[in-house]
């Protein structure tokens, strides 16, 4: 598997972790695209940063580029919700190695959300690396389920 392009975004609570991850992942050979913010503002509005990262992941994937995303915040919850509003994004909140790996293996998640206030830098880095390195299983049941989610996202109809 090729190394994915990584789109990253954060809110003010994740800025230190984001800066660490940009440097760490770049040193490991990832192409990292930082969607901001560029400077600390305790009153920032994270949705635009996370939505921009999600839009970029989907655009890359539609263009045939292997891309994944990372959204960070204090808890990661709001950032995950924002990213999931982008059509084609499947953002998963990872809080341990199992959830980080299963997000990719079973759900083919293309964005991971991590709470910077919930983990040490080392723990968060381990979660991110696990997510980025785990392949999708392509198991028929998972493909089928993801297809039903995508059908609802596209048509608004629930497929039984």
Residues annotated as catalytic (active site), given as ranges: 79, 106
Rg of the chain taking only CA atoms, in angstroms: 15
Q: In this structure, are residues 33 and 6 in contact, taking their beta carbons and an 8 Å threshold?
A: yes
Q: 47-62 and 77-84 helices cross at what angle (nearest 10)?
A: 50
What's the chain's length in residues? Answer: 160
Cα(108)–Cα(39) distance, integer angstroms: 32
User: How would you write 52-74 as a 3-class SS string?
Assistant: HHHHHHHHHHHCCCCEEEEEEEC
Residue of 54, 108, 62, 60 whose CA lies nearest to 81:
54
CA separation, residue 96 to residues 82, 105, 157 (Å): 21, 14, 33
Return phi, psi of residue 73, to 5°: -160, -165
């Amino acid at each position: 598997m090729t190394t994915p392009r990584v789109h990253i975004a954060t809110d003010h609570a994740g800025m230190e972790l984001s800066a660490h991850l940009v440097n760490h992942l770049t040193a490991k050979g990832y192409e990292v695209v930082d969607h901001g913010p560029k400077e600390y503002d305790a009153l920032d509005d994270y949705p635009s940063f996370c939505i921009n990262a999600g839009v970029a992941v989907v655009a890359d994937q539609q263009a045939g580029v292997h891309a994944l995303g990372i959204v960070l915040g204090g808890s990661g919850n709001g950032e995950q919700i924002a990213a999931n509003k982008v059509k084609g994004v499947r953002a998963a909140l990872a809080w341990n190695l199992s959830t980080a790996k299963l997000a990719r293996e079973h759900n083919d998640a293309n964005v991971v959300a991590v709470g910077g206030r919930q983990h040490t830098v080392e723990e968060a880095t381990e979660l991110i690396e696990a997510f980025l390195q785990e392949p999708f299983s392509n198991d028929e049941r998972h493909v089928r389920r993801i297809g039903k989610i995508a059908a609802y996202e596209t048509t608004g109809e629930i497929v039984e």
